[in-house]
Chain A
Amino acid sequence: MNKHHRSISILLLWLAPAAFLLLFYFYPLGSIFSLSFSRSQAGFFAPIIEAIKSSIPWRVLGFTFWQAILSTLLTLAIGLPGAYLFGHFNFRGKSLLQALTGIPFLMPTLVVAAAFNALLGPGGWVNIGLMKLLNLNNAPIQFVNTLTAILVAHVFYNTTIVLRTVGDFWSHLDPRINQAARMLGANRWQALRWVVLPLLAPAIAASALLVFIFDFTSFGVILILGGPHFATLEVEIYYQTISLFNLPLAAVLSLLQLACTLGLTVLYTRLIRRLSIPLPLKSTRVTYRRLTTRRSKLAAGVIIFSLLTILIVPLAALSLRSVTRLEPNRGEQTVSSPGLTLDFYRNLWVNSTASISYAPPSTAIIISLGYAITTTVLALLLGFPAALALSRDSTSHLSHAFDALLMLPLGTSAVTLGLGFIVALDKPPLDLRSSLLLVPLAHTLVAFPFVVRNLTPAFRSIQPRIRQAAATLGASPGKVMRYVDIPMIGRSLLVAATFAFTISLGEFGATSLIARPEYPTIPIAIYRLISRPGESNYGQALALSTILMIVAGGAMFIIDRLRIGEIGEF
């Protein structure tokens, strides 16, 4: 391939992802921004000056960064040992553990709040236990409305990003590199510090960036678990937009959030270019070991225990609550015989009010799965060529620009973009305002950067000479793709698909803005139940959340077992 030919083929690769982002991201966002600024009576720059003069951005920006940095560091601290475990060892129950640790990522915030409440709330099991144990009258642990709650919830949500992104990359590192370092006299930690960590740096940086952006734009966790004393930019944007309808100021704050995301991403792409080293990736058949030594068993035990405590116990508490009556401690409740019950599950299947917006769980599951599969297909179709283009051309300005831009959807305020959809996509042939496709399109915007972030390091690590060798031996570009690239990145493709799938399955914020009421997803159905008073409604919400966990866990378990041409099959 000559240079000219090559750059054209890279442009062609960008065509579909760029068209998608233009139509469904930049166009709606541009529309809402221009409309917002045009509503300012004092001219275009007035809102910017107003924002700078007011204390809002500075107060909020500081806290937004602070909690995001803390959360990201904590998430890495919990996630990296787990990634080591998943990337190195094969053990009984590994697939199950991996699927379980992925579930928190997709739980709607209201459900997560309910889970932590069941565990750590004033009437949660930990507090009740401590009160009984220590003979206290009041709950000793105050969890909701604290910074701790925010940090714990962020770790709970995002650890799986580190586990999967880093763990997958680690599992393909040639163990001989580490062995060589040890042979040459490095001790365990020196080898880790000077050999393994630099090789892992791109994957760690990629996952840290994703985690940071999620924490930076956090909304539900801050609102529900953090309480009224904490506000991020995203919370402030929501307040300015919905409560005060100050669209110009909201637009300025939205732009500020975007600028931060863009700045971070540019920083990341610069860093990553220095860090990326093409490596001979190995099949996990070669790299995985069994837990044989006492030392490795102990380490694995500690890591698994901490993952279970942080990620699984709250979910278990939630499931347990869904089969328990809410008032087991009340002396007066003799009639309702406190204890275990499956009533909440039974009631889910009863449309007790004959409502038009009722959907049995089976229907909500099918609708959710339909959206999730559409999102996965769309995100892979768009993310695959984008990642390929990024990996084949890491030097041109065009590539740098795209690399930074495609992270923007993650850093965009959901409220702003949701209103942008309404303003922009309102004329045929793009009148999508009541279209069923709107939901998977919105989900794809969030899933797409995940797919690209997971595939690009994998593509980049394929040594060009393997492709060249195949081409020299007569393989067409298509065949090189089919027999070299795809088998070598198979696992990453699955990881990317899992992310896209789970993002869609659990998404609530954007869905609630655009979903049609007769097609409720599981999170939407949960929200409908939990926003109403009464034991049965709350219990049903928890029951449906448990069903969501089972569906999601099952789907991830199945995806984990799929095999797309593993490395080392040639």
Chain B
Amino acid sequence: MKIKILYLMVCLSFVISACGQSAVPSASTGAAQATLLIMTHDSFAASKSVISDFESANNVKVQFLASGDAGTALNKAILSKDNPFADVFYGVDNTFLSRALTEDIFQPYASPLLADIPDEYKLDPQNRALPVDWGDVCLNYDQVYFSQHNVQPPQTLEDLLKPEYKNMLIVENPATSSPGLAFLLATIGHFGTDKYLGYWQGLVANNVLVVNDWETAYYTNFSRWGGDRPIVVSYNSSPAFEVIGSTTPVSEPETGVITSDGSCFRQIEFVGILRGAKNLDLAKKWVDFMLSTTFQEDMPGQMYVFPVNRNAKLNDTFQKFLVIPAHPAYISPDDIAANREAWINAWTDTVLH
């Protein structure tokens, strides 16, 4: 009996001491090389070669800490702001930006590369959060379905109220899904805060289907992938990735995108140096690196988002298939932060009850 307990205690203390050691991830790699810790959401991806270029150029080991979805990752950064465990945080978007700035987790850094980025992406005048990439949430439609049924695909948000598009639309719940929230914001931006609920009442009358997540909307209900509804809230990039992600050579995507004025909502993602960062100089270099053309041109194929740096070039597939709305709907991060709960609640009352 006693031997067993002793054994257990040894085990536990072993576990605890092992934890203690691993708290310093750079300890074993030697003092010569610093470790730069970058906290991101779990959609983060980059090419191996791109990251190792940065590492060898700056004699640094870059370690990424994925921290759940975008909202969860940001909350983790906020809750650990008194004792930050990363140097840089990447992945706060314009729907969450205000929360990050109010909680004051970033320190300002006026990267010289900001000169290459158009002003429309710079939403924080103090440069605590620097824009990295953008992607548009837009309505996608199944071209084959519409040609088979001899119906013209819709062109605008208003079209969706017409009887010929009854039973056709799938949207995601803005309370649980990031594209769902973005599409709700598009309708608010387009119709105004006084009229958007009326629009949604019209969609309900036309039997809109609401699901909680993009995966269900896209892979279960969207007719392109075996569902029975031909219009879905997704991204402007989805058709291009349909071509890239196909198992057989496809010349044309079968999915179209609605890009009429105000029908899409642009998500912009930001990077910032956390207050209390232990490697400030390296963190600055990393931010510069993320804004440089090397990283910016790597992003589309990795994270399905697009460069803000005007010198970054898109590859042929994107040049050919990427549809970019000229005038996406706009709502400022402050407005989103101030009204998020009220808008979602009002939407829930109108659409779900």
Spell out A's residues near B (CB within 8 Å): 9, 12-13, 15-16, 19-20, 23, 32, 35, 110, 113-114, 117, 121-124, 138-139, 144-145, 223-224, 226-229, 235, 238-239, 241-246, 325-327, 329-332, 335-336, 341, 343-344, 347, 353-357, 378, 381-382, 385, 415, 418-419, 422-423, 426-437, 477-478, 481, 512-518, 524, 527-528, 530-539
Contact = CB atoms under 8 A, between A and B. Distances in A.
Contact of B176 (A243, A524, A531): A243
A433 B85 contact: yes
B71 A243 contact: yes
Q: Which 3 A-B pairs have the closest CB atoms?
A: A534-B245, A123-B226, A429-B20
Contact of B247 (A223, A343, A531): A343
Contact of A336 (B227, B248, B304): B248
Given A113-B220, A426-B80, 18 more contacts: A122-B227, A245-B75, A325-B247, A331-B148, A332-B254, A385-B4, A385-B8, A418-B68, A418-B72, A422-B76, A429-B19, A430-B23, A431-B24, A434-B37, A478-B4, A481-B4, A514-B67, A517-B42
B251 to A, nearest CB: 9
A330 B230 CA distance: 14
A243 B341 CA distance: 9
A330 B144 contact: yes
Contacts of B63: 434, 516
Contacts of A436: 22
A220 to B, nearest CB: 10
Interface in B66-120: 66-69, 71-72, 75-76, 78-80, 83, 85, 99
A227 B352 CA distance: 11
Nearest to B211: A227
Nearest to B235: A533
A345 to B, nearest CB: 11
Nearest to A421: B76
B1 A538 contact: no
B11 A16 contact: yes
14 contacts: A32-B79, A113-B215, A122-B226, A122-B228, A381-B8, A385-B5, A418-B68, A419-B79, A429-B16, A430-B16, A478-B3, A513-B76, A515-B66, A536-B247
A548 B353 CA distance: 39
Contacts of A528: 42
Contacts of A114: 219
B80 A433 contact: yes
B344 interface: yes
B3 A239 contact: no
B79 A355 contact: no
Nearest to B225: A326
Given A353-B45, A429-B17, A535 B247 contact: yes
B22 A437 contact: yes
Given A122-B228, A418-B68, A437-B15, A16 B8 contact: yes
B20 A535 contact: no
A16 B5 CA distance: 8
Nearest to A143: B220
A9 B5 CA distance: 9
Specify which of B24, B226, B234, B250 lies most central, judged by the most chain A CB atoms within 10 Å of its CB.
Answer: B226
Contacts of B2: 12, 477-478
B87 to A, nearest CB: 12
B42 to A, nearest CB: 6
A401 to B, nearest CB: 20
A28 to B, nearest CB: 11
Given A326-B225, A530-B219, A357 B44 contact: yes
Given A326-B226, A535-B247, A478 B176 contact: no
B166 interface: no
Nearest to A124: B226
A11 to B, nearest CB: 10
Given A357-B44, A478-B1, A242 B72 contact: yes
A537 B19 contact: no
B5 A13 contact: yes
A122 B148 CA distance: 18
B346 interface: no
A332 B253 CA distance: 13
B215 A224 contact: yes
Given A381-B8, A419-B79, A239 B176 contact: yes
Nearest to B224: A327
A139 B37 CA distance: 50
Nearest to A482: B4
B141 interface: no
Given A244-B340, A536-B245, A224 B213 contact: yes
Interface string B335-349: 000001100100000
A224 B1 contact: no
Given A228-B175, A243-B71, A356-B47, A431 B85 contact: yes
B15 A356 contact: no
B175 A239 contact: yes
A423 B80 contact: yes
Given A435-B19, A537-B245, A117 B67 contact: no
A422 B67 CA distance: 10
B104 to A, nearest CB: 14
Contact of A223 (B46, B212, B340): B212
B9 interface: yes
B76 A419 contact: yes
B269 to A, nearest CB: 16
Nearest to A440: B15
A227 B173 CA distance: 9
B238 A533 contact: yes
A531 B245 contact: no
Nearest to B340: A244
A356 B46 contact: yes
Interface string B213-239: 111101111001111110000110110
B64 A228 contact: no
A228 B247 contact: no
B241 A533 contact: yes
B22 A228 contact: no
A352 to B, nearest CB: 9
B272 to A, nearest CB: 17
A533 B216 contact: no
Nearest to A374: B15
Interface string B244-273: 111110100010000000000000000000
A422 B18 contact: no
A20 B64 contact: no
Contacts of A532: 241, 245, 304
Contacts of A477: 1-2
Nearest to A480: B1
Contacts of B221: 121-122, 144
- Listed residue (B1, B11, B209, B224) with the most chain A CB atoms within 10 angstroms of its CB: B1
Contacts of B213: 223-224
A209 B216 CA distance: 31
B83 A426 contact: yes
Contact of A335 (B64, B220, B248): B248
A23 B237 CA distance: 46
Interface string B295-314: 00000011010000000000
B242 A430 contact: no
Given A9-B1, A144-B220, A534 B302 contact: no
Contact of A244 (B210, B227, B341): B341
A35 B79 contact: yes
A320 B6 CA distance: 51
B245 A355 contact: no
B80 A422 contact: yes
A228 B344 CA distance: 12
B12 interface: yes
